[in-house]
Chain A
Amino acid sequence: MNLSTSNSAVGAIFIALLGGAIKTSTPYLFVSLGETLTEKAGRVNLGLEGTLMMGAVTGFGASLFSGNPFVGVLAAGGAGLLMGALHAWLCSFRRVSSIAVGIALMIFGTGLAFYLGKPLIQPQAPHLPAIDLGFWTTNPALKEALQINVLFIAGVVLAPLLAWFLASTRWGLILRLCGENVEAARAKGIQPERVRLLATAAGGFLAGIGGSFLSLYYPGTWTEGLSTGQGLLAVALVIFSRWNPLLCLVTSLLFGALGSLGAALQAAGLSQGFYLFGTVPALMALGLMILTSGKKRGVSGRPAELSVHT
């Protein structure tokens, strides 16, 4: 292999990773932003993998029947909102474990999505549009990589908005207080359960939208193998993003790129080990969890009321 072809191969991989980061980071981004909101209120919702699948199937169905993909996105958000509210409602009972409810919702959401999705496997629903930011280049791979989907743009706008909301608004302060010190919140006349209900429902709404991306943009159909664990990975991603929405954006892009490593290498002519490359995001998440956790140090930014060992 001479220098110029190896350069072009590296360039092709780089462009494919850039495109992959933009194309596949959206579900990570929406789910992790939603989970950040929920966890900042002091509640963990482990069930977002189920919410993601419910969002994917309702988004696809609603887009198919209405003919408008944005109706699909809203319906997906609505389904996620209901799942989140169900989680919060069950957790509002004493002695009901939020971790266990999350596991149950993961199983329930996936099962219900498979049930609802049976008649949706064949048809093709209207897709979400993309914005062409590659108009300036003649490189077809780069042109393709710079097709930016509208949900990604929405997510990029949402991340700083959410950071601002949490840091600088009254509601953000109330929400964080419920995550840091329930007793103090109660003393101030705040009802933590109600705040957590709203935060979990809103988090579910965002996670549902993340699901609609899978069925309405990329891969863009409904299949039972649609999610390869993005919902769970995004929950892990919140931990090493230190509950910071802006870091969620960075890590989501990183995981989008890692997730498309197999496809990128395949495009460059390396077809061996496709399934192994598929495990890279999960391995990376495990690695980052091992690095950023630590029994003694604790994790900065972690809401004090969270009941998960991190």
Chain B
Amino acid sequence: MVTAAALLKRNVSKTGIGAQLGAILAAVVLFAVFLVLQGKSPWGVLADMGIGAFGSSFAWQNTLVRAAPLLLTALCTLIPAQLGLVIIGNEGAWLLGGLATSVLGASLPPSWGIGGLLLSLAAAAVAGGFWIGLAGAGRQWRGVDPTISSLLLYYVAWGVFLFLVEGPLRDPQSLNEPSTFPLPKEFLMSSLPGTSVHAGLLVGIAACLLAWFVFFRTRLGFDARIVGENERLGATLGLRRSLLVVGACAVGGACAGLAGGIQIAAINHASNASLNAGVGFSGILVAFLARQRPLAVLLVALLVGGLQASGGFVQRDHNLPDATISVFQGLLFLSVLWAEAFRRDPSGGNK
């Protein structure tokens, strides 16, 4: 019998965790240099970031709340990546997912209870899946670059979202910030017992575990990875590339859409412009930091969630703008890609 620890160990050693830790260290050093250039003490800021992310049970809960959606939005990049497609329109699927949950949730009878919540979340997954599925279909049948098209689709989604939220779907009672009608309290997601962390965290963890299982333990996932590695070999084996490509994009989009829906049901309660806060874009970073490995996403989402949780802390105590965290995230992304150059195993890489 293979224990979970052994599985994890095998997976971790395959990902070349040394190069990854080196990359994170390099990003920390670059960030420290950046802070010195800004006339700040790097030790003070970095220590406070650690405390803000993981220093107390309050900090941990804040970190977990931010990590929960990242688990799902990362899958929007990770799942198509197994087939060799680079998808970066996660934020668009997230927005439409949130909107779908708002619309359906506010129109179903509250007496439906948990069933109404589940239906509203299913609508989010369908909306996100359709949206990213379009990028997959464009790639498969017209050869349209899915990286560019998925990001263009985000700009379309954002325009449509604003139009609907400030126009036809607006709750007339939302005066300062135009919003949709809020979900009835019967459909709101509850927190895990004894914490402020919502149940979406468990959904995210389950989705990552499932993605790992499908891609690394089933025939379907194996076929998908063959198509991703070598299109011609896949064709020789008679694998249905079109189904796999469009399906992977749709499932990835469904994950990001579901994340947006959960965000509405657990935290925002209604859709408005504040939903476009970059969670989808951070998901891209998480997927690349995890080198497109589903189990590594569990750790990396925690790290990036912690980074974002520490943002308010850094802003308040060190008088640094909130974009400081974005600078650090950008440095992390660049360092991790740089680390590919120093990797020994020939199998990995996203090239």
Interface residues of A (CB under 8 A from B): 46, 86, 90, 93-97, 99-101, 103-105, 107-112, 114-115, 118, 228-229, 232-233, 235-236, 239, 272-276, 278-279, 282-283, 285-286, 289-290, 293-295, 308-310
Would you call B152 and A104 a contact (CB within 8 A)? no
Chain A residues with CB under 8 Å of B350's CB are 97, 100
Closest A residue by C-beta to B164: A275
A-B contact pairs, 20 of them (CB 8 A): A95-B340, A97-B340, A99-B86, A99-B147, A100-B86, A103-B88, A103-B288, A104-B288, A107-B285, A115-B321, A233-B152, A233-B155, A235-B148, A236-B148, A239-B145, A275-B166, A290-B142, A295-B141, A295-B143, A309-B144
A310 to B350, CA, bound (A): 18
Would you call A286 and B163 a contact (CB within 8 A)? no
Chain B residues with CB under 8 Å of A101's CB are 334, 337
A115 to B349, CA, bound (A): 31
A108-B333, A111-B327 known; A103 vs B284 contact (CB < 8 Å): yes
Chain A residues with CB under 8 Å of B343's CB are 95
Would you call B337 and A100 a contact (CB within 8 A)? yes
* Contact residue among A100, A236, A276, A309 (Cβ-Cβ distance under 8 Å from B139): A309
A111-B323, A279-B159 known; A104 vs B337 contact (CB < 8 Å): yes
Contact residue range for chain B? 35 or more
Residue B181, interface by CB 8 Å: no
Interface residues of B (CB under 8 A from A): 86, 88, 138-139, 141-149, 151-153, 155-156, 158-160, 162-163, 166-167, 281, 284-285, 288, 321, 323-324, 326-327, 329-331, 333-334, 337-338, 340-341, 343, 349-351
Chain B residues with CB under 8 Å of A112's CB are 323, 326-327, 330
Q: How far is the CB of B72 from chain A (nearest CB, A)?
A: 19
Chain B residues with CB under 8 Å of A294's CB are 142-143
A90 to B341, CA, bound (A): 9
* Contact residue among B156, B160, B323, B338 (Cβ-Cβ distance under 8 Å from A90): B338
Would you call B321 and A236 a contact (CB within 8 A)? no
Chain A residues with CB under 8 Å of B144's CB are 286, 289-290, 293, 309-310
Chain B residues with CB under 8 Å of A235's CB are 148
17 further A-B contacts with Cβ under 8 Å, apart from A97-B340, A115-B326, A289-B144, are A90-B337, A94-B341, A96-B338, A97-B351, A100-B288, A104-B288, A107-B326, A107-B330, A108-B334, A114-B323, A236-B152, A279-B159, A290-B138, A293-B142, A293-B144, A293-B145, A295-B143
A76 to B330, CA, bound (A): 20
Closest B residue by C-beta to A114: B323
Chain A residues with CB under 8 Å of B141's CB are 295
Would you call A279 and B338 a contact (CB within 8 A)? no
Would you call A308 and B333 a contact (CB within 8 A)? no
A169 to B88, CA, bound (A): 38
Point out which of A110, A115, A232, A272 has the most chain B C-beta atoms below 10 A from its C-beta.
A115
A105 to B288, CA, bound (A): 13
Closest A residue by C-beta to B86: A99
A101 to B138, CA, bound (A): 23
Would you call B334 and A289 a contact (CB within 8 A)? no
Q: How far is the CB of A270 from chain B (nearest CB, A)?
A: 14
A100-B288, A233-B152 known; A308 vs B145 contact (CB < 8 Å): yes
Would you call B86 and A114 a contact (CB within 8 A)? no
Would you call B326 and A93 a contact (CB within 8 A)? no
Would you call A118 and B321 a contact (CB within 8 A)? yes
Would you call B281 and A107 a contact (CB within 8 A)? yes
Chain A residues with CB under 8 Å of B138's CB are 286, 289-290
Would you call A309 and B143 a contact (CB within 8 A)? yes
Q: How far is the CB of B293 from chain A (nearest CB, A)?
A: 15
Give 9 closest A-B pairs by Cβ, nearest first: A108-B330, A111-B326, A93-B341, A279-B159, A114-B323, A104-B333, A115-B323, A275-B163, A282-B155
Would you call B139 and A96 a contact (CB within 8 A)? no
A97-B351, A276-B163 known; A289 vs B145 contact (CB < 8 Å): yes
Would you call B145 and A228 a contact (CB within 8 A)? no
* Contact residue among A96, A97, A232, A276 (Cβ-Cβ distance under 8 Å from B152): A232
Chain B residues with CB under 8 Å of A228's CB are 155
Closest B residue by C-beta to A308: B145
Would you call A283 and B337 a contact (CB within 8 A)? no
A100 to B350, CA, bound (A): 8
Closest A residue by C-beta to B85: A309
A150 to B260, CA, bound (A): 44
Would you call A95 and B341 a contact (CB within 8 A)? yes
Chain A residues with CB under 8 Å of B167's CB are 272-273, 275
Closest B residue by C-beta to A286: B152
